[in-house]
């Protein structure tokens, strides 16, 4: 795994809520119990390749892959990761057994070691236990925790962006996975599906818990129709993100997933109030609502900011690695700023930012209420005001990129007045 570019080119995006740097955006990862391959992660271009490796059509991982590849916009590849087995020193024994009795069961028994039978481990010491077919072991095996296998998957492949675990998860495991993705590097989004009825009825529930934690990089869907329904909308996003267009998840189809036909307005409002998402039906329209992260941010803004942040970071890094030198002068700063302007112009052309009035705080020469016709303004502090320590450290003065997001219309009010 390579060292982070952040140490050399550090780009920070300031929003009303905290955002985290991103890197790769069109490779989804699904994780589960795998016997088809030995590596931690394998990348597939089709579900046929998975079948060739020995996956069954009934496997949960395969069915999730069908959703990822089955959307109108879809990724060219997906990654499949495996949950590993951990072997570690055994400390599980709580009951004890006399050495003399243990020796009768196994001649290799020693004080301080453990003797096992199906219902548990027994420390060889001073308590009698009944049973047979006992063995002695200093180690035990267990499945990796969600944090352990996500960490291992990130170390094995730093390209994946969205991750969905194809296994039964407790609420605490969902929270642990979301918290890992909140701070991992390169950054990632944790996605999950739940069918818990309390998501539609009352708090606390998993969506309310994640909202209370303010997790910006966690995305959940309620579905009783598919164990991994969220993979459908993730597949669509992983396809559309490769195009130079702006988008929103709201009202998109989830091919391969049935709608929640019986969801009530009260249930929907409860789910929506906790930033949960659902595939439902309004009239004849089958639509995904609303595309929110756990903290209320919109998925499309999180991923697109990650994308453009990476483009700015890479563009500046390309300059640093290809130019003989960038002088610590106003001309040098102009070169950096003009490079960033090109990325911002791409954001404008894609429809992600748009002209408007800046309603944020004052930033250098940009005042609250100023017009931004192109939707962005790139400024830097003056070279002349730079400290001697920063000059000697060969640092550029801070560069400020102000973006006016184009946003998206999700709700419309129409008033019709009629007079006869």
pTM tops 0.75: yes
* List of residues 6+ apart from 83 with CB closer than 8 A: 31, 32, 33, 34, 143, 144, 149, 167
**Average pLDDT value for the chain:** 89
DSSP E strand stretches across 9-72: 29-32, 41-44
How big is the chain by its Cα radius of gyration, in Å? 27
pLDDT in the model for residue 6: 79
- Scan for tokens 């016709």, then name that residue: 373
Residues of the chain with pLDDT under 50: 16-22, 93-94, 118-119, 126-135
> How many angstroms separate the CA atoms of 265 and 200, rounded?
10
What's the count of helices (H) and strands (E) in the chain, helices before strands? 11, 18
What percent of the residues of the chain are helix, what percent strand, and what percent coil, each to the nearest 5? 30, 20, 45
pLDDT in the model for residue 122: 55
- Classify residue 8 by its DSSP letter: T
> How many angstroms separate the CA atoms of 163 and 280, rounded?
23
CB-side neighbour CA atoms (13 Å) of 109: 22
pLDDT per residue as tens digits for the range 236-256:
999 999 998 999 999 999 999
DSSP-derived secondary structure for 180-231: HHHH-SS--EEEEEE--GGGGT-SSSHHHHHHHTT-TTEEEEE-SS-TTTHH
pLDDT in the model for residue 8: 74
pLDDT in the model for residue 12: 73
- If phi > 0 it is left, if psi is from -120 to 50 it is alpha, else beta; for residue 161 that is alpha
Closest CA to 337 of 402, 244, 406, 245: 402
pLDDT in the model for residue 105: 66
Backbone φ, ψ for residue 263 (5° rounding): -70, 135
pLDDT in the model for residue 134: 47
Number of residues in the chain: 420
Burial of 153 (0-12, 13-18, 19+ CB in 10 A): buried
**Rounded to 10 degrees, what is the CA torsion of 301, 304, 309, 315?**
-160
DSSP-derived secondary structure for 320-338: HHHSS---SSHHHHHHHHH
């Amino acid at each position: 795994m390579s060292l982070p570019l952040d140490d050399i080119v550090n780009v920070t995006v300031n929003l009303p809520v905290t955002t985290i740097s991103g890197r790769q955006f069109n490779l989804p990862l699904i994780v589960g119990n795998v016997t088809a391959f030995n590596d931690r992660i394998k990348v597939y271009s089709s579900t046929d390749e998975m079948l060739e490796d020995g996956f069954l059509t009934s496997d949960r991982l395969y069915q999730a892959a069908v959703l990822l590849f089955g959307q109108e916009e879809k990724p060219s590849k997906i990654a499949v990761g495996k949950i590993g087995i951990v072997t570690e020193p055994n400390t599980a024994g709580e009951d004890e057994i006399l050495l003399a009795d243990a020796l009768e069961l196994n001649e290799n028994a020693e004080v301080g070691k453990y003797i096992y039978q199906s219902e548990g481990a027994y420390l060889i010491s001073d308590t009698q236990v009944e049973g047979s077919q006992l063995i002695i072991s200093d180690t035990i095996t267990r499945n990796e925790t969600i944090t352990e296998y996500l960490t291992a998957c990130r170390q094995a492949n730093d390209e994946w962006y969205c991750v969905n675990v194809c296994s039964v998860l407790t609420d605490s495991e969902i929270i642990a996975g979301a918290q890992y993705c909140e701070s991992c590097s390169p950054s990632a989004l944790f996605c999950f599906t739940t069918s818990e009825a309390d998501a539609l009825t009352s708090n606390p529930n998993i969506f309310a818990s994640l909202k209370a934690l303010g997790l910006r990089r966690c995305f959940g869907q309620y579905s009783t129709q598919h164990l991994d329904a969220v993979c459908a909308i993730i597949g669509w996003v992983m396809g559309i993100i490769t195009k130079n267009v702006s988008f929103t998840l709201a009202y998109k189809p989830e091919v391969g997933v049935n709608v929640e036909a019986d969801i009530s307005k009260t249930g929907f409002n409860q789910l929506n109030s906790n930033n949960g998402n659902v595939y439902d039906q309004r009239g004849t329209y089958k639509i995904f609502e609303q595309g929110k992260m756990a903290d209320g941010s919109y998925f499309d803004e999180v991923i697109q900011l990650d994308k453009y942040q990476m483009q700015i970071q890479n563009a500046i890094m390309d300059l640093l690695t290809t130019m003989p030198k960038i002088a610590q002068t106003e001309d040098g700063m102009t070169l950096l700023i003009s490079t960033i302007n090109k990325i911002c112009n791409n954001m404008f052309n894609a429809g992600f930012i748009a002209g408007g009035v800046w309603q944020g705080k004052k930033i250098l020469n940009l005042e609250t209420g100023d017009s931004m016709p192109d939707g962005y303004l790139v400024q830097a502090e003056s070279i002349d005001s730079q400290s001697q320590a920063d000059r000697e450290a060969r640092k550029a003065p801070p560069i400020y990129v102000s973006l006016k997001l184009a946003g998206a219309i999700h709700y419309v009010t129409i008033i019709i007045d009629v007079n006869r």
